[in-house]
Amino acid sequence: MEVSTRRLHFFSLITLLSFPHHLHASPEYSRPPPRPIIFTSHTRSESDPQQVHVSLVGVDHVRVSWITSHKHTKSTVEYGKSSGTYEASATGDHTSYHYFFYSSGEIHHVVIGPLEPSTTYYYRCGGSGPEFSFRTPPSDLPIDFVIVGDLGQTEWTASTLSHVGARDYDVFLLPGDLSYADTHQQLWDSFGRLVEPYASRRPWMVTEGNHEIETFPIVYPHGFRAYNARWRMPYEQSGSESNLYYSFNVAGAHILMLGSYTDFDADSDQYKWLEADLAKVNRTTTPWIFALLHAPWYNSNEAHQGEGESMRQAMEELLYKARVDAVFAGHVHAYERFTRVFDNTADPCGPVYITVGDGGNREGLALKFEKQKPPISVYREASFGHGRLRVYNQTHAHWSWHRNNDSDSFEADQVWLQNIYASTTSCMEATPQSQRDEL
């Protein structure tokens, strides 16, 4: 896609003139200054699709979402395995929304399938406009995930996405804070156009962050108006009643997309859903469980201290008893990896906790970590970048974090993960009998 851009008159509040000496960064690395916001313009006709992105729906279906300025474009997708040859078609629905004086275009959502795994499909939206293509993820391991939080739409965002696109992957996971529109709805449109070259080619699975809330007293008290309309996720398929939390299976992994900004206490719908969802996971066919949420439960950065604590106290034990392998968060604009943890203590049966809120947001980096590094914190650095998780087989996965280093992506941190069920007999013995019976 040809992208036309212009700079908006925004500037970051944080300057990167120096950084604390206690960060675990390479001493020779000097952080460049923040970069301005990019506004990506619409260059197609009113009936042509824009802001195209795809997401997973069940094991063999994909949702294609896009927006048109023209109100009468059909919500149809034609698709096939050869360019220009569309052997099948599907029809979906469309919606739109208003936010004060802003009126969105027509937002189309069409579910297509069943589809074959590891297969490239070519597709056209609404019967006109350019042809797109995406590849479905594999049905079995190995599988490759890219994980990026707090993406935004700055020149650093463009750098991050460029590094992401330089290497192949299967599914993109985003733990909240997408566009940083913050009630400026045109920035939702700009964000959709910016990510389209990536989100139209691989499934993007997202959950909400605080910048998606966009409430306004009396007029818009409930929030998530733009997010829910534009980024519809497969919550119904996992038994959830809200687009703000859901789960899905892909290859041999069960992915939990949790909501930091909806109720999560023991009496909440989300808590009851999570408890029931985890009870259904068969660790024989789905050996890995990963969770994503926005506000981190563990954090040694000075930014956003304690903001995930109430959710941790409410839900951590559920994840621990289910032997979740890793939890990924955003919100804090830096990178940090913890060891396996439960209740603030290193525990071989707990998840690895990783913060990746460093995708390129306009607010800049969270530069200050606590001077005394907690013993459970293994690596921390305030730099923009992205993470990659390759799940090789039922027993081993590899995590790596790649710092944006101008034109190159530099692997600054990496670790091998062993599946808790496969590697630790004591953790298996501590698991509730109902879950062990499935093995």
Residue type, 96: S
Whole-number Å distance between alpha carbons of 405 and 142: 28
For residue 34, the 8-state DSSP code is P
Q: Is 28 exposed, middle or buried (0-12, 13-18, 19+ CB in 10 A)?
A: exposed
320: which 2 tokens? 């621990």
Q: Which segments of 34-179 does DSSP mark as H helices, in order?
A: 155-165
Q: Which residues are catalytic?
A: 304
Residue entry with tokens 């003139």: 17
User: Within 10 Å of residue 90's Cβ, how many Cβ atoms?
Assistant: 17
Phi/psi at 364 (5° precision): 90, -175
Closest of 375, 284, 281 to residue 319, by C-alpha: 281
165: which 2 tokens? 């696109």
Residue type, 117: P
Helix (H) or strand (E) holding 435: helix 433-436
For residue 114, the 8-state DSSP code is -
Q: Which segments of 166-292 does DSSP mark as H helices, in order?
A: 186-199, 225-230, 269-279
Whole-number Å distance between alpha carbons of 100 and 111: 30
Angle of helix 269-279 relative to helix 309-321, nearest 10 degrees, comes to 20
Q: Which segments of 268-401 does DSSP mark as H helices, in order?
A: 269-279, 309-321
7: which 2 tokens? 């700079």
- 126, 66 in Cβ contact below 8 A? yes
